[in-house]
Amino acid sequence: MNKNVTNNGELLSTFTKNNSKRMPIQVALTRPLVEAIGKCFLLLNGTTEMIQEKDESVIPRAVYQVRIICNNTRLPIGTVLTIKIKNSKSIISQEQNQAILFGQEQNKVVAFDELSHWSFNNTEGLSATNIRILDIDPTAAMKL
């Protein structure tokens, strides 16, 4: 089986490939993002926040909390990450968040498109362009 595809043929990883010639050291330091956090995650919750842009316009940003579930990552399994998607609303409703919290809804395994890491002034974060719910159970996802 291809490590980038589930048994159902769903693409797991669309990590941005960064080959910047202007910042080769930063590229070398951030290159192994997939090795650090994995390709797919257990969804904990999703919300939408409204952010103000420099031009004073207000846009939505989806904010997801996920848990690392892959066994072969540098960060320990269970580590909670926050991933933000600009110009997007959460695909998870408030009712679904509550159902996930109380174990009333089946665990969702998710992957992100163009997942990237940024750091600035002793702060770091993860951004993506899209989230996808995968048709795979968490136990199978741990082995990917």
86 DSSP β-pair partners: 61
pLDDT value, residue 119: 83
What pTM was computed for the model?
A: 0.78
CB 37 within 8 A of CB 22: no
For residues 110 and 77, give the distance between their C-alpha atoms in angstroms, rounded to a whole number.
15
Summarised one tens digit per residue, pLDDT across range 43-62 is 999 999 999 988 989 999 99
pLDDT value, residue 90: 97
pLDDT value, residue 118: 86
Q: Which residues of the chain have pLDDT under 70?
A: 1-21, 23-32
For residues 51 and 42, give the distance between their C-alpha atoms in angstroms, rounded to a whole number.
26
DSSP state of 71: S
